[in-house]
Chains A and B, each alone.
Chain A
Amino acid sequence: MTSLVFPAAEQAAAAAATGPAAYAWLLIAFPLLGAAILLLAGRRSDSWGPALATGLSWASFGLGVAILVQMLGLGAEERGMRSRLFELINTGSLKLDAGLLVDQLSISFVMLVTFVGSLIHVYSLGYMEHDVDKRRFFAYLNLFVAAMLTLVLADSYLVLFFGWEGVGLASYLLIGFWNHNPAYATAANKAFIVNRVGDIGMILALGMMFKTFGAVDFASVNERVGGASQTALTLIGLFLLLAACGKSAQFPLQSWLGDAMAGPTPVSALIHAATMVTAGVYLIVRSHAIFDAAPDARLAVTIVGAITLLFGAVVGMAKDDIKKALAASTMSQIGYMMLAAGLGPVGYVFAIFHLITHGFFKAGMFLGAGSVMHGMDNQVDMRRFGNLSGAMKLTWATFGLGWLAIIGFPGLSGWWSKDKIIEAAFVGEGWRPWVFGLVTLFGAGLTAFYMSRLFFMTFQGKKRWTDEVHPHESPATMTVPMIILSLGSLALGAILAMVKFPEWLAPVTNGGHLEHREPVLSIPAIQIATFVLMALGIAVAWMKYWRDDVPVVAPEGNVLTKAARADLFQDDVNETVFRAPGAGLVEVLDDLDRGGVDKVAVGGLGGTTALLSSKLRRLQNGFARSYALTMLAGVVALLGAVWVIQ
């Protein structure tokens, strides 16, 4: 049997960047400049700022296309290009330049981020038209694009961390964009703080890499993996997984994503669906050399992906808030990607493939949800929607393509990428292919059910909205991006499969060519099973949410429904296990510090303080004198000592 693990050394070392790739730093600089101008110019830029920000985002996309074209003209081994920007740290033992790495993997992300990101800038011109702080919103969007591009273009884990935290900051600012609503301010804090828990993993991984390899840049780490102990590699892998769990809302750090829907809907589409939340998957795939050599860490990645996949699907089945249902589905879809990344060389490329197609159809659906909210006075309760297909034909059609794509309807984008993950999950020996394969298969059925439920509750069945709302189609700035993204839902999967995107990516993600392995079930059997489960999911949703009337008040539901509505009690667990005891500890320590430490730990000194301070208060005018006396005493002691000794 051939080994699943490709030696990392096969990967061609990246050459110095030439041509457009040498200007890769401009990809980051354009939107960063936009953010700086809009924030510093203040209200003066209210009129032209949003358009400038949108233009700069497109400029990054344009340069990205130029780099992609350049790369397509190069041989497979010349596509990785590094550019050194400046020396970041050099302590003699830790030497690190700030540098960028342009290769197949990073350019794929550049295209996704700048294209979807620019479309969402355009959409926001319409969606945020009447917001008084529109300019600040565009500044933050630009900041996000710059940080996300830093994350994917970095050539070392430390520079990646700059982007990693940068997107976290942008996410925090945008979730809390309407933070005059206290609940939204709390949601923003929750996102940042849960992400920080994940960041512990990133920092420990950096520490462990430096301890093990003496370096933290991708090239050195990949090259030196062979010399490291199994324990060290497994630890690094687990630390990276912790980081990925925070950013990608994977179990057990998933609790922030639902609340993050407090942000304006374009933000949910760009940051909390299409791009930032997939950064964890990127991190795992980028670190494939470590995970290839640490099978235990990889297994942990797969298990986390499998749990989150089901977790998100279960929560998604019970949510009536359209954005929260979409957020749960995002969590579940990223679970698929994580699971695929954990499968190793058979899964890496499909994790990224699914990440790209998901970016299009999920962003499209979020924009569709925003369009629905726009026409429905910002309502989000799907029990108050129904039969919107007539009033909002474009939104209905574009959302419909996204729905068919995510449930994996044959021929649409999601089918090309997700079915590959399901097939890859059935590869392997022993219990694993059966467990992971069946989880992905079962998950496909659940996805079909909850996404059809969402689609039918919103657009089909009987109208349930009240008379004071007048649903209407959104303006062209909003619908045009939706149409473009829906074309992606329709055809991007087929196009990418046709141009052999997985094979093109393989030199980076697999350190070589793509290897085909036979799953434990035949591929047609898997495809038929997937299709049958999908059809079942649609059918059940059709019966309950299209054919039958949907009550406007949610029925009480059974224990499972209640649990799913409460996000499987994730917040209660966090409250009981972490927050409440933490708050108690802080209170006790505060009491201790105000009296205790002075009196107990410092002993006599503190006691003397309390005693003397009352007396010295009366002596305040003479205190300088007593101080001088003390000094004098010191000098006298010195003189005395000298005299005695000599």
Chain B
Amino acid sequence: MNTSFPWLTLIGLIPLIGSVVLFALPAGLADKAKQIALGFSLLALLATIGAWTQFNYGSGEQFQLTETHEWIPQFGVSYALGVDGIALSLIIMSAILVPVCILAAWHDVPEGGSREKQYFAWMLFLEVFMIGVFAARDVFLFYVFFEAMLIPVYFLIGSYGGPRRQYAAVKFLLFSLAGGLVMLVALIALYFHGPGGTDGFLVERLTGLQMSTTAERWMWVGFFIAFAIKAPLVPVHTWLPDAAEQSKPAVATLLVGVLDKIGTYGMIRFCLQMFPGASEWATPVVIILAVISVVYGALLAIGQTDLMRLISYTSISHFGFIVLGIFAVTKTSWSGSSLYMVNHGFSTAALFLIAGMLIARRGSSRILDFGGWQRVVPGLAGVFLIAGLSGLSLPGLAPFVSEIMVIVGSFSRHPIAAGIATVGVVLAALYILLTYQRMMTGPKPELAEGVRDITGREKAVVAPLIALLLVLGFFPKPALDLINPAVDKTLQIVGVSDPAAPAADGSAH
């Protein structure tokens, strides 16, 4: 469906204006920076909901809300936007998480002044690219957003993070740049295998191309390396724990909850849609890496002594599940992986942000610096447990439905891999419950000064996340209804159908 109104541009434009306003804000108004940032992010959320209402679930087109304008016609680059259900669900998730993160980051820059206003300006600037990268329908435009978002992230980590922030920011940048450059080569090569012309970089022009097996495989590798680093998949994951540990919790949330999804989203949109043959060729290796990520990430999480690092390793384990589901290529596993991307965003946000509230009170992110805190801050302990239980995929909380869909869907094609991945379910119980035990149980500690339990602002941060985790945990239909048509459509393009169940028709007795 082509709509005359440029919804997607609007969603991106609002935070862009917001960030310009903030950068230009006179010093006298600097103490209002966070309120302004929150206002713009809520406006962007409203625009996103507006776009959602215009989305037609029954459309036969792959992309909707499309906008196409020539940008650099000489090189076939267009400013082309458009979303399917998978991309829109990720945009909705991002638009929800940004205001939540801004509210959580309220006191992140206690010195205030221009440093504070820039902090929130960078966050809004990041949102522009988060929306853009999921909305891009032109491969080159996707690449531009993909690379451009490194700039706000670099400053958010490098200028506002912990003691080793510079190291973490540079490590993040180098990994991302390395991946991005490899992808650049691959996408240029892809352009020359396509029809060319003034709109030769459009996703639909580059889908279903005839090319030599070797060329397809090389290009697949180029895209995949970039996405594997982003996701991240073991063994190219090592930038993530450092980046998450050194970031403010709100930044870590956007980094792990949203930016990492570009990797898994890219695998579906580019690796599988454009190179189905090469994807099939590489599947055994990717499945093995995914299963290793599930188990390795979980084992490493168990061994962590820093709360932020621990949460980032749990994400590596969860991304293993998402990648497993994507490369198992069944309706159920794809649907599960796409839903998992959304659910993981809310679950990780709850974990990181509540961890941040605890860290702010204790002045340390070392797990062993806590102990007995359930008796100190019962409210925070309660919501931390709920967030943790969503991290171990307890039924009734959002990630469970997606995880079981990934495992069950993958099982019908790769039973051994799916079977090994279920070990991650036990390990998840270990890393969450051991952490809860160390931080929250035991005798009440002697603290020098009183510690406040969860505040009103913090409740406003946590409540929407827990509400979403519960609603999607019991009633995932709204998200699945959005995602499933996109899954069906993309699978049709990839040209893969589900394995048949041998006893599905039953038999006469």
The CA-CA distance from A210 to B499 in the complex, in Å, is 11
A204 / chain B contacts, CB cutoff of 8 Å: 411, 419, 422
Restricting to B127-154, which residues have a CB under 8 Å from any CB of A? Answer: 147, 150-151, 154
- Among candidates A210, A225, A620, A623, residue contacting B411 with C-beta atoms closer than 8 Å: A210
Is there contact, CB below 8 Å, between B404 and A90? no
Map CB proximity to B onto A603-619 as digits: 1 under 8 Å, 0 otherwise. Answer: 00110110011001100
Chain B residues near A521: list those with CB within 8 A.
none
Q: How many residues of A sit at the interface, in one of the four size bands?
A: 35 or more
| Cβ-based interface call for B452 (8 A) | no
* Stretch of A113-121, A180-188, A271-279 with 4 or more beta carbons under 8 angstroms from chain B: A180-188
Residue in A172, A179, A590, A631 whose CB lies within 8 Å of B147: A631
Contacts of B480 in A (CB 8 A): 89-91
Q: Tell me if B437 and A214 are in contact (CB < 8 A).
A: no
Interface presence of A598 (CB below 8 A)? yes
Contact B372 A180 (CB under 8 A): yes
Task: Please tell me if the beta carbons of A593 and B300 are within 8 angstroms of each other in the complex.
Answer: yes
Q: Is the CB of B504 within 8 A of A214?
A: yes
Task: Output the least CB separation between B371 and chain A (Å).
Answer: 9
- Given the known A-B contacts A182-B441, A200-B423, are A207 and B498 also in contact in the complex, defined by CB atoms under 8 Å? no
Do B504 and A207 have beta carbons less than 8 Å apart? Answer: no
- In the complex, what residues of A have CB within 8 A of residue B167's CB? 613, 617
* Residue numbers in A under 8 Å from B504 (CB-CB): 213-215, 224, 227
Q: Would you call B175 an interface residue if the criterion is a C-beta within 8 Å of the partner chain's C-beta atoms?
A: yes
Closest A residue to B239 by beta carbon equals: A609
Q: Is the CB of A598 within 8 A of B484?
A: no
Per-position binary interface string of chain A over residues 368-401, scored 1 when its CB falls under 8 Å from any chain B CB and 0 otherwise: 0000000000000000000000000000000000
Whether the Cβ atoms of B395 and A620 lie closer than 8 Å is: no
Q: Is the CB of A637 within 8 A of B236?
A: no
Closest Cβ–Cβ distance, residue B343 to chain A (whole Å): 13
- Spot the interface stretch: B80-88, B112-120, B329-337: B329-337
Query: What 1/0 flags go to B385-400 for Cβ under 8 Å of A?
Result: 0000100001110001
Residue of B180, B188, B508 touching A641 (CB-CB under 8 A): B188
CB of B506 closer than 8 Å to a CB of A: yes
Contacts of B505 in A (CB 8 A): 224, 227
Which of B150, B440, B487 contacts A627 (CB under 8 A)? B150
Report which of B405, B425, B501 forms a contact with A91, defined as CB distance below 8 A.
Answer: B405
CB distance from A333 to the nearest CB of B (A): 27
Among A89, A192, A203, point to the contact of B407 (Cβ < 8 A). A203
- Alpha-carbon separation in the docked complex, A91 to B410 (Å): 14
Say whether B404 contacts A206, CB under 8 Å: yes
Contact with B along A456-468 (1 / 0, CB 8 A): 0000000000000
- Indicate if the CB atoms of B477 and A87 lie closer than 8 Å: yes
B184 within 8 A of A: yes
- Contact call A180/B375, Cβ cutoff below 8 A: yes
CB distance from A78 to the nearest CB of B (A): 22
Task: Identify which of A189, A585, A586, A639 contacts B437 (C-beta below 8 A).
Answer: A189
Stretch at the interface among A103-111, A161-169, A311-319, A565-573: A161-169
Instruction: Enumerate chain A residues within 8 angstroms of B507, measured Cβ to Cβ.
Output: 224, 226-227
**Given known A192-B433, A609-B174, contact A590–B303 (CB-CB < 8 A):** yes
For residue A609, which residues in chain B have a CB less than 8 angstroms away from its CB? 170-171, 174-175
From residue A387, how far is it (CB to closest CB) to chain B in Å?
36
Once the chains are docked, how many angstroms separate the CA of A642 from the CA of B418?
A: 45
Main secondary structure of the interface of A (DSSP, over half): helix
Inside 8 A of A226's CB, which chain B residues have their CB? 503, 506-509
Among A93, A196, A215, A638, the residue within 8 A (CB) of B426 is A196
Residue contact A637 to B441, C-beta cutoff 8 Å:
no
B442 touches A180 (CB 8 A): yes
With A and B bound together, what is the CA distance between A627 and B174 in angstroms?
Answer: 10
**Docked CA distance A169–B392 (Å):** 12
**Does residue A237 face the partner (Cβ distance < 8 Å to B)?**
no
Q: Contact: A586 with B299, CB < 8 Å?
A: yes
For A631, what are the chain B residues with a Cβ–Cβ distance below 8 Å?
147
Q: Which residue of A lies closest to B185 (CB)?
A: A637
Are A589 and B299 in touch, CB under 8 angstroms? yes
| Contacting pair A597 B170 (CB below 8 A) | no
Residue pair A86, B475 in contact (C-beta under 8 Å): yes
Within 8 A of B (CB), among A183-239: 185-186, 189, 192-193, 196-197, 199-200, 203-204, 206-208, 210-216, 220, 223-229, 232
> B422 contacts which of A203, A216, A586, A606 (Cβ < 8 Å)?
A203
Closest to B192 in A: A645
A9 within 8 A of B: yes
Q: In the complex, are the beta carbons of B238 and A192 less than 8 A apart? A: no
Give A158's nearest chain B residue, CB to CB. Answer: B404
Give 1 or 0 for each of B417-448: 1 = CB within 8 Å of chain A CB. 01100110110011001100100111110000
Q: Is the CB of A608 within 8 A of B395?
A: no
On whether A602 and B236 interact (CB within 8 A), knowing A92-B484, A180-B372, the answer reads yes
B22 within 8 A of A: no
Shortest distance from the beta carbon of B187 to any chain A beta carbon, whole Å: 9
A133 to chain B: closest CB distance in Å? 9
Complex CA distance for A28 and B158, rounded to whole angstroms: 51
Cβ of B377 within 8 Å of any chain A Cβ, yes or no, is: no
User: Given the interface contacts A91-B332, A210-B412, does A200 sit within 8 Å of B426 by beta carbon?
Assistant: yes
Least distance between A581 CB and chain B CB atoms (Å): 12
- In the complex the two chains form, is B331's CB within 8 Å of A169's CB? no
Which B290-312 residues have a C-beta within 8 angstroms of A?
296, 299-300, 302-304
Q: How far is the CB of B114 from chain A (nearest CB, A)?
A: 16
Cβ–Cβ < 8 Å partners of B147 in chain A? 631, 634
Q: Once bound together, how far apart are the Cα atoms of A585 and B298, in whole Å?
A: 12
Chain B, residue nearest A587 (CB): B303
A1 on interface, CB distance cutoff 8 Å: no
In the complex, the answer to whether B444 meets A211 with C-beta atoms within 8 Å is no
Answer yes or no: A630 CB below 8 A from chain B CBs.
Answer: yes
B302: A residues at CB distance < 8 A: 586
Q: Is A481's CB within 8 Å of the partner chain B?
A: no
Known: A192-B429, A200-B422, A597-B235. A94 touches B409 (CB 8 A): yes
Residue of B nearest to A606 (CB): B238
Find chain A residues with CB under 8 A from B502 CB. 212, 227-229, 232
Within 8 A of A (CB), among B470-509: 474-477, 480, 484, 487-488, 498-509
Contact B389 A169, beta carbon cutoff 8 Å: yes
The CA of A185 and the CA of B441, in the complex, are separated in Å by 7
Complex-state Cα separation, A207 to B409, whole angstroms: 7
If A207-B407, A627-B154 touch, does A185 touch B503 (CB 8 Å cutoff)? no
Of B75, B410, B475, which is within 8 A of A638 by CB? B75
Residue B264, interface by CB 8 Å: no
A525 at the interface (CB under 8 A from B): no
Answer yes or no: B314 CB below 8 A from chain A CBs. no
Contact with B along A583-602 (1 / 0, CB 8 A): 00111011001000110011
State whether B395 touches A638 (Cβ < 8 A). Answer: no
A245 vs B203: C-alpha distance when bound (angstroms): 51
0/1 string, B67-98, CB within 8 A of A gives 1 = 00000001100000000000000000000000
Contact, CB under 8 Å: B484 / A207: no
Produce 1/0 per residue, B235-272, CB < 8 A to A. Answer: 11110010000000000000000000000000000000
Listed in ascending order, the chain A residues whose CB lies under 8 Å from chain B are 7, 9, 39, 86-94, 98, 158, 161-162, 164-166, 169, 172, 176, 179-180, 182, 185-186, 189, 192-193, 196-197, 199-200, 203-204, 206-208, 210-216, 220, 223-229, 232, 585-587, 589-590, 593, 597-598, 601-602, 605-606, 608-609, 612-613, 616-617, 620, 623-624, 627, 630-631, 634, 637-639, 641-642, 645
Of the A-B pairs whose beta carbons lie under 8 Å apart in the complex, a sample of 29, sorted by A's number, is: A92-B488, A164-B395, A180-B372, A180-B374, A192-B429, A196-B429, A197-B426, A203-B407, A203-B425, A206-B408, A210-B412, A210-B501, A213-B504, A225-B503, A226-B503, A585-B299, A586-B303, A589-B299, A589-B303, A602-B235, A605-B236, A612-B170, A613-B167, A613-B170, A613-B174, A620-B158, A623-B154, A624-B154, A637-B184
List 8 extra interface pairs beyond A200-B425, A602-B238, CB under 8 A: A182-B442, A211-B499, A593-B238, A597-B238, A598-B238, A609-B174, A634-B181, A645-B192
